[in-house]
Amino acid sequence: MVALSTFAVAVIALRPFNAALIGAGKFVVERQFQFLGLAVRILGTLWACLGFNSLLGVALAETLALILPTVGAMGYVIYKNIAVPRISAISVALWRQMTSYSLRSIASTLASMAAVQGGTIVAGLIGTPSSVSYYNAALRVYMGIRNVGQWCTTPFQTTLSRAYVHARDSAQQVVRSATFGTFLLVAGASVGVLLVNEWLMGFWLGNDVPVEEIAQTLTVLLAGLVIFSLHGPLSMAAAAAGRPGLFFPLQLAWAVSGALIGILLGEAMGITGVALGMALPLVIIEPLYFYVAVRFLELDLSRWCRECLLPVLLIVGFSGLVGLAVKIFASFLSLGEGIVSVTSLIAMALSALGVGYAARPVLPWRSFKTALSAEL
C-alpha cells in the first residue's frame, strides 16, 4: 500500500498534461478522462469489497482512479501533437514569475482546505476516534456537494482567463454566470440533502450510531457550504486576473478562527460544535470577500445580486418550502420515513424545475449557456 501511495503521488508530476489539454480547448476530453477515473474508482471498490473483501484491492482501485486521468491526458496530448514534452532551460526571471504565481495559488488552496479539513483534526483533539468517524461521515457528504460545485466552476476557467486579457466586461459576465450556476447547484443540492439528512444518515450508517448528532453536524456544514459557494468563482476570477493570492489572508483567517471556535464549541457541543466552528466565521468573512472583489476585481455588486443571488433564492427558496410542506404533510399519513423523505425530495426537484422554466425570461439562463458553450 505504501508503494501504491508513492506511485500515485509521483504521478502528480505529470499533471501539466491535464492543464495542456484544457488550455488547448479540449476540456470535454479532459473531463472524459476524469469520468473514466471515477468509474474505475466505483467499480474497482465494489469489486474489491464484494468479490474479494480486500483492503489492498480498494487501495489499488483508488490508485488506478488517480493515475488514469493523468496518464490518459499525457497519451492524448502526445498522440495529437498538442504539445511536445521536453526539458529546456528557462530564464531566472521567468522561473521566479511562474513560481510566484504557483506558490500564491497553492497557498490559497491549502488555506481553504485547511479550513475544511481542520475540523477532523479538532474532532480528534477534543473527542474520541468514533467522534472523528462521525464527523467525517458528515464531511463526506459536504465534500461531495462541494466537489460537484467545483466541477461546475472549472469549465469557465479557460474562458475567463482569455476574457480578462481581451475584454474585462465580458469577464465579469463569465464570473456572474459561473456564480449563478455554482450557487444554484450547491444551494439546491444542500437544501435537498437537508430535507432527508436524518433518514440518509440512518440509511447509510445504520442505527447504531448517533444519527441525530451526525445529521445536525451535516446541517451546519451545509449551511456553511451555501455561504461559501457565493464566492467560489471569485477565487477563480482572481487567478484569471493575475491575482491568485488575493483572498489568501481571508482564507487563512477562516482556517485559524474556525479551528479556535471549533475547539471552544466542540468541548460543549461535540462534533456539532466543531462544525459550527467552521461555519460561523464565514458570516463575518464572506462580506469581506466581496469587499475585496469590488475593490480589486471591479465586481458590480448590485448586478451580481440581481443575476446571481436573487434568482437562486427564488428557485431554491420556493422549491425548498414546497419540499418541506410535502414532508410535513406526508408525515401525517403514517408513511415510512424513507418514503416521506424521498417524496419530499422529488417534490422539491419538480418544483425547482417548474420555477426555473416558468421564470426563464427573467433568469440568466442565456448568459450561463453562452459562457458555458464558449468553453465546451
pLDDT one-digit tens code per residue, 327-346: 888 888 877 778 888 899 89
**Are 34 and 172 in the same domain?**
no
Within this chain, do residues 222 and 367 fall inside the same structural domain, yes or no?
A: yes
Residue 121 belongs to some domain of the structure: no
Q: Which of 88, 105, 140 is the last residue of a domain?
A: 88
Residues 204 and 351 in one domain: yes
Q: Among candidates 159, 184, 183, which has minimal Cα distance to 171?
A: 159
Q: Is 281 domain-assigned?
A: no
In 3D space, the residue among 140, 135, 130 whose CA is nearest the CA of residue 262 turns out to be 135
- pLDDT tens-digit map of 285-327: 999 999 998 888 888 888 888 888 888 999 999 999 999 999 8
All cell numbers assigned to 145: 456537494
Clarify whether residues 299 and 188 are in a common domain: yes
CA distance readout (Å), 216 to 44, 89, 223, 296, 319: 32, 55, 11, 37, 22
Most confident of the following: 25-39, 89-103, 359-373: 25-39
> By the 8 A CB rule, do 134 and 271 touch?
yes
pTM of the full predicted structure?
0.79
- Asked, for residue 261, whether it belongs to a domain, the answer is no
Identify whether residues 362 and 220 lie together within a single domain: yes
Provide the domain limits for residue 59. Answer: 1-88
154 belongs to a structural domain: yes
Joined together, the cell numbers standing for residue 120 give 477532523
Is 278 among the domain residues? no
For residue 95, tell me if it sits in a domain.
no
Share of the chain above pLDDT 90, in %: 16
Q: Cα(317)–Cα(309) distance, rounded to whole angstroms?
A: 11
Q: Mean pLDDT for the chain?
A: 81
Q: Does residue 68 lie within any of the structural domains?
A: yes
pLDDT digits (tens, 9 = 90+) for 19-29: 777 766 676 77
Does residue 205 share a domain with residue 78?
no
The DSSP 8-state label assigned to residue 207 in this structure reads T
| Stretch among 104-113, 192-201, 264-273, 310-319 having the lowest mean pLDDT | 104-113
Q: Domain count for the chain, please give it.
A: 2
The residue among 88, 122, 157 that closes a domain is 88
Residue 133, C-beta contacts closer than 8 angstroms, at least 6 positions apart? none
